[in-house]
Amino acid sequence: MISYATRRSVGSDILLARHGNAISSMRLDRRHGQVVAVLADGTFDFAPNLIDSALEMPGRIDDDAKLIAVVAAATVGVAAAMTAVVGVLFSLSSPEQLSNFAAAMGSYTSAM
C-alpha cells in the first residue's frame, strides 16, 4: 500500500499494541508530537507519534515518482531515436523505393 503522506503516525499503533480494547479514547498532541490514550481505568498513556523524523517510510509516492520519471524519460528518448532513424531512412531513399514501400504496406492484411 502506498502512503501519500510524508510522515506516518505510529503512536496509535503503539498504544493499540500495548493496551488493545482497554483504550477508551485517543487524541493527538501536536505540540509534543505524541498520541495520548485514555484507558478504561482512567489512566493515561503516551506514545511518540513518529519513530524517527529522519526515517523515510517505504512505499512513499516520492520513491515511485522517481522510477516513473526515469521510465518516461527513457521511453521518450527511444521514441525520439526511432523517429530520427525513420526520418533519415526516408530522406535517403529514392521515390521508387518509397512507392514500392507504400504499395507493400497498402496490400498488407493482418493474419487475424
Rank 38-47, 59-68, 70-79 by mean pLDDT and report only the highest.
Answer: 70-79
pLDDT of residue 66: 85
pTM: 0.41
End-to-end CA distance of the chain: 40
Q: Are 17 and 37 in contact (CB under 8 A)?
A: no
Residue 69 falls in which region: left (phi positive, over 0), alpha (psi -120 to 50) or beta: alpha
**Is residue 82 scored above 90 in pLDDT?**
yes
Averaged confidence pLDDT in the chain: 82
**47 three-state secondary structure:** strand
Quick one: what percent of the chain has pLDDT higher than 90? Answer: 38
**Is residue 84 scored above 80 in pLDDT?**
yes
pLDDT of residue 98: 85
Who wins on pLDDT, 2 or 64?
64
Q: Are 24 and 39 in contact (CB under 8 A)?
A: yes
Chain centroid to CA 50: 22
